[in-house]
A and B are shown apart, each in its own frame.
Chain A
Amino acid sequence: MYMKTAIKYKIWENKRPLMIYYGIIYTILVASALAITSADNGSISVSGIEFASMIFIFISGLNYFGETFRMFLQNGLSRKTLFISFVFSIIPITAFMAILDSINSLIMGYITNYKSLYLQFYHPRYVESSGTGLQFFEGILWSLFAYAMLAMLGVFITTLYYRMDKKQKLVVSIGFPLLLFVVLPMLDNSFTNGAIFRGIGDSFAFAWGYQHGFNPYYSMLTCTLFFIFFGGLAYLLIRKAVVQE
């Protein structure tokens, strides 16, 4: 019973931001559709608005923990219930967004030259296929898995920062970008002759299914594994989290 209420609360909490977000998105889409249909030379185009959804869901993930943690503890819910409610509220929210975004893409595709983010990634898979049904279904699935993974990444980052003290936050905030954008490229240039970034690129192509006929199920599996990985880490951090006075 408590779990059901906890999930209901998390979905209710996200309802207002979602309404605001889609209010903005629909304004942009309608304005774009009007602009594109009235322009006769095809000079205006719009595509990949799902990227905005990815940023939105990631930021939502970053805001998933602190306030809810205090609210749930105030109302006698355990950390375990909190975490499970996170997982089971992320899924319907991201599913809703994935379906809505795919419908938007479909409609925009009919009206304009709109290309969804999914289609930009996996277009070669549908070159020989005339039907849009499979493309639409796989687009929803791909978005759902990608959104869910990004939401959980946000949850992991926010719980990590919640648990760290000031020094640790400073080390991670400076150290991680430094490692990724300075140390790694330097090492790659000086010692491995580009092998590190080639390896990363190959891994990405494999994980995204590009090496297997642009198969989106590879990326769905990758997203699932990362969802479990980030979720597992987030749970370990939440398990012993205490209120910060």
Chain B
Amino acid sequence: MNFIEVKSLTKTFGNVTALKNINLKFEGNKIYGLLGRNGAGKTTLLNIINNRIFPDSGEVLIDGVTAFENDYAQRNVYLMSEKNYYPLTMKVNNVFKWTNEFYPLFDMDYAKELTAKFGLNPAKKVKELSTGYNSIFKIIIALSVNTPYILLDEPVLGLDANHRAIFYKTLIENYNANPKTIIISTHLIDEVANVLEDIIIINQGEILKNESCEQLLTQGYTVTGSTTTINSFIADKNTIGYDTLGGLKTAYIYGSVDKSELPTGVEISKLDLQRLFIQLTNS
């Protein structure tokens, strides 16, 4: 059994339901995108998988065994979270040293290589790192621990464009050299879209979509034309949203298109992931 299974997971904080009866399966050696708006429940889900918080009900299985209070199951998972959990006064190289103790498959040479690649000073204390370098320091650990499951919660937070490019490139290289399950939770959907195989869209604690990226994007299309033409074209279509600019209207439609049906003056294009996400979660 090589998967993380989330069964009937519910979590509430006071009177806010963060997760509502979630059922999911993260299969082995795949890159998942966990997408959702702020407060959708992404971090809560990742924190529960990593045993940082407890659900109200439901369970999480890692390779068939419970994830809760289980050192052996958690040995297979590494969660890089937005918040820092390392001692602030500890030096980066000491964090690497201790990660190596806790995760025996941690590749110290690779971590040092990435440290140089990203320009991180390992002699610095965690508290001395800027927001961007704090993310880089955690990215380096996540990519070096060699666990079968890596969960990345907002990995590119505070990273400049150059560092983000290095990160995506390194992530793909790492995955190709050593396939594993990577779950990326991020708001920068456009950037990450190219590396994702499967997409899970979570909205207000519920799973809205759980499909392959390719499948998801072929399920809809975009049409642009004059407002009158588009209005009449979309009348019997499953429209998930639209934008209007002057006399021009762009509509986002779910379903397949019969190109012979297209009125003259209407342009058709693919949905992009970010637009689809915005439309789906724009409630």
Contacts and interface: CB of A to CB of B under 8 A. Distances in A.
Interface string B57-68: 000000000000
Interface stretch (B71-79, B160-168, B206-214, B225-233): B71-79
Nearest to A67: B87
Interface stretch (A49-57, A76-84, A154-162): A76-84
A198 interface: no
A77 B52 contact: no
Interface string A91-114: 000000000000000000000000
A167 interface: no
Contacts of B101: 5, 8-9
Main secondary structure of the interface of A (DSSP, over half): helix
Contacts of B103: 75-76
B259 interface: no
Nearest to B73: A76
Contacts of A75: 98-99, 102-103
A81 B71 contact: yes
Contact of A71 (B50, B74, B79, B87): B87
Contact of B77 (A5, A9, A76, A78): A76
Contact of A74 (B54, B69, B75, B86): B86
Contact of B71 (A8, A67, A76): A76
A55 B191 CA distance: 54
A162 to B, nearest CB: 14
Given A9-B98, A9-B101, A67-B87, A77 B53 contact: no
A242 interface: yes
A125 interface: no
A73 interface: yes
B130 interface: no
29 contacts: A2-B71, A2-B102, A5-B101, A8-B101, A9-B101, A67-B87, A70-B87, A71-B86, A71-B87, A74-B79, A74-B85, A74-B86, A75-B102, A76-B50, A76-B71, A76-B75, A76-B77, A76-B102, A77-B74, A78-B51, A78-B70, A78-B71, A80-B69, A81-B71, A240-B54, A242-B52, A242-B54, A243-B53, A243-B85
What 4 pairs between A and B have smallest CB-CB spacing?
A76-B74, A75-B102, A74-B85, A70-B85
